[in-house]
């Protein structure tokens, strides 16, 4: 079976994760999907399969080299999809030999996947694309990753002449709500290193994420009848606006790119008496993130000088860290992936992730875990699509990496 055929099957599982459900998995459909995957793993030949009550699925492809000793490599993908884009009743369609024009996804609703808005399409002219009818996501994020990992496994069992060491496979729930790593048992999984298969183009290898913190700013005001307020009122709403205006405007998400960090006001509520501002602080460089925290605190103390002590209170919490520092000591993970991509005719690229990944959490839990591509694009959108041949290339990439690790000693 080819990877895209698996992906089409998986679109039937409506696995949207639910951020306000604190259970794991956050939706029962994920557990149903987990059990179906375990069955499929069994039919492929994968051993030691387990599904725990939280929906984590793991399995092993045993080494096919006598007395093999080396680094055990793992491949991971997540089972959930985002819920804030329609994710049910997915209707897939194959565009054969894409000709470089705009793709009509939905005739009735006049929805297009246009070349001018989607640079990624350019590299797929002549290839076959898997799309939706433009009313839902495809769920290639990350079911394409699952499909590719299981297709890799199937190929390895069908071709025992491909020599490999022990390979671990893991499928996780609730990645889209940031909880995929929470209950992942790194020890039980038993890999020395792993890759998540959760990116876009087949040529990408991601190993840098943001360092992240949040700042909760509480402003206490003094309310009084506005008619007699002169010299007495302290309007928390106005002070909040003043606070926000003192942050650098060019360091907002909408004005930053690549390695530029930001201050992101993502929530505010208030009345004259009390106003709360909530910010996300992000930077790939940990020192620069610290500078951002200092800036926030300095603005607060300036306003406190102006309006009185404890008018503005700031609470800062770290959320996650850049995984690069965990990956760099194991640089062979990146080099091996680069070599494999080159051997398959690609030009490896590494762009900094402007967010966090489950892999970055896992890297700090002792499982260094960069991210590979899936051959799919426009994740979290109704124009999400996968390139069928790029998915095949991703399968080949996983096989090549497994082959290379059969020879790599533990470092």
Q: How far is the CB of 333 from Zn ion (least distance, A)?
A: 19
Q: Which of 372, 378, 345 shows the shortest CA–CA distance to 149?
A: 372
> CA geometry: angle at 155 spanning 57 and 149, to 5°?
35
Question: To 5 degrees, how large is the angle CA 256–CA 368–CA 69?
Answer: 155
Task: Select from 186, 156, 121 the least CA-distant residue to 384.
Answer: 121
Strands (E) in 125-239, as ranges, are 129-132, 167-172, 193-197, 205-206, 211-220
> Is 119 noted as a catalytic residue in this protein?
no
Min dist CB 174 to Zn ion, Å, is 11
Burial tier of 193 (Cβ tally within 10 Å: 0-12, 13-18, 19+)? buried
Q: Shortest distance, CB of residue 141 to Zn ion, whole angstroms?
A: 4
Please say which residue, 3 or 156, places its beta carbon nearer to Zn ion: 3
The residue among 218 and 374 lying less far from Zn ion, judged by its C-beta, is 374
Catalytic one of 141, 175, 203, 204: 175
Q: How many residues bind Zn ion (CB under 5 A)?
A: 3
| Residues in contact with Zn ion, shown as a per-residue x/- string from 174 to 203 under the rule CB under 5 A | ------------------------x-----
Straight-line distance from the first to the last Cα atom of the chain, in angstroms, rounded to the nearest whole number? 35
Q: Report, in Å, the least distance between residue 337 CB and Zn ion.
A: 18
Output the six-digit token pair for 161.
């002449």
The candidate with the shortest Cα–Cα distance to 51, out of 224, 193, 183, is: 183
Active site residue 141: no
Let me know: does 57 contact 76? Beta carbons within 8 Å. no
Cβ neighbours of residue 346 closer than 8 Å, sequence gap 6 or more: 202, 203, 393
Which is the catalytic residue, given 29, 80, 203, 251?
80
Query: Least distance in Å: CB of 376 to Zn ion?
Result: 10
274-283 sheet: strands from edge to edge = 262-270, 274-283, 211-220, 312-320
Instruction: Select from 390, 33, 351 the least CA-distant residue to 209.
Output: 351
Span of 105-113, 137-145, 185-193, 335-343 interacting with Zn ion by CB under 5 A: 137-145
> Closest approach of Cβ 11 to Zn ion, in Å?
15
**Spatial contact of 54 and 24, defined as CB atoms under 8 Å apart:** yes
Nearer to Zn ion, 57 or 314 (CB): 57
DSSP annotation of 349 reads: B
- When binding is defined by CB under 5 A, the residue of 80, 141, 200, 203 that contacts Zn ion is 141
Alpha-carbon gap, residue 208 to 215, rounded angstroms:
22
Interaction of residue 142 with Zn ion, rule CB under 5 A:
yes
Question: Cα dist. 316→221, 247, 274 in Å?
Answer: 21, 16, 19
CB 19 within 8 A of CB 84: no
Nearer to Zn ion, 142 or 392 (CB): 142
Interface with Zn ion, residue 29, by CB under 5 A? no
Q: How wide is the angle at C-alpha 396 spanned by C-alphas 392 and 401, nearest 5°?
A: 145
Q: Which residues bind Zn ion (CB under 5 A)?
A: 141-142, 198
Residues annotated as catalytic (active site), given as ranges: 80, 175
């Amino acid at each position: 079976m080819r990877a895209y055929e698996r992906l089409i099957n998986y679109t039937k599982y409506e696995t949207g994760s639910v951020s306000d459900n604190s259970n794991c998995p956050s939706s029962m459909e994920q557990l149903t999907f987990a059990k179906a995957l375990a069955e499929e793993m069994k039919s492929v030949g994968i051993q030691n399969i387990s599904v725990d009550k939280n929906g984590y699925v793991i399995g092993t492809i045993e080494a096919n080299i006598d007395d093999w000793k080396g680094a055990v490599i793992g491949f991971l993908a997540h089972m959930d999809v985002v819920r804030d884009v329609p994710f049910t009743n997915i209707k897939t369609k194959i565009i054969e030999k894409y000709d470089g024009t705009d793709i009509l996804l939905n005739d009735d609703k006049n929805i297009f996947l246009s070349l001018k808005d989607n640079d990624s399409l350019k590299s797929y002219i002549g290839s076959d694309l898997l799309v939706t009818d433009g009313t839902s996501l495809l769920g290639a994020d990350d079911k394409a990753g699952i499909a590719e990992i299981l297709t890799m496994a199937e190929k390895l069992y069908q071709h025992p002449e491909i020599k490999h060491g022990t390979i671990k496979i893991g499928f996780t729930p609730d990645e889209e709500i940031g909880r995929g790593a929470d209950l992942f048992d790194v020890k039980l999984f038993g890999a020395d290193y792993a890759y998540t298969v959760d990116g876009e183009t087949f040529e990408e290898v991601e190993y840098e994420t943001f360092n992240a913190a949040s700042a909760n700013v509480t402003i206490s005001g003094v309310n009084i009848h506005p008619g007699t307020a002169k010299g007495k009122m302290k309007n928390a709403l106005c002070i909040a606006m003043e606070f926000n205006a003192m942050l650098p405007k060019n360091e907002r998400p909408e004005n930053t790119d690549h390695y530029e960090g930001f201050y992101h006001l993502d929530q505010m509520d208030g009345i004259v008496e009390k106003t709360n501002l909530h910010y996300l602080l992000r930077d790939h460089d940990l020192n620069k993130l610290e500078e951002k925290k200092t800036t926030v605190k300095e603005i607060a103390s300036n306003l406190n000088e102006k309006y009185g002590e404890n008018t503005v209170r700031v609470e800062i919490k770290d959320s996650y860290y850049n995984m690069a520092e965990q990956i760099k000591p194991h640089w062979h993970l990146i080099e091996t992936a680069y070599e494999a991509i080159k051997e398959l005719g690609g030009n490896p690229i590494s762009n900094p992730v402007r967010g966090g990944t489950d892999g970055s959490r896992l890297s700090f839990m002792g499982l260094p875990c960069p991210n590979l591509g899936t051959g799919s694009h426009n994740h979290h959108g109704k124009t999400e699509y996968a390139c069928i041949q790029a998915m095949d290339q991703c399968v080949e990439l996983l096989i090549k990496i497994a082959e290379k690790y059969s020879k790599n000693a533990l470092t």
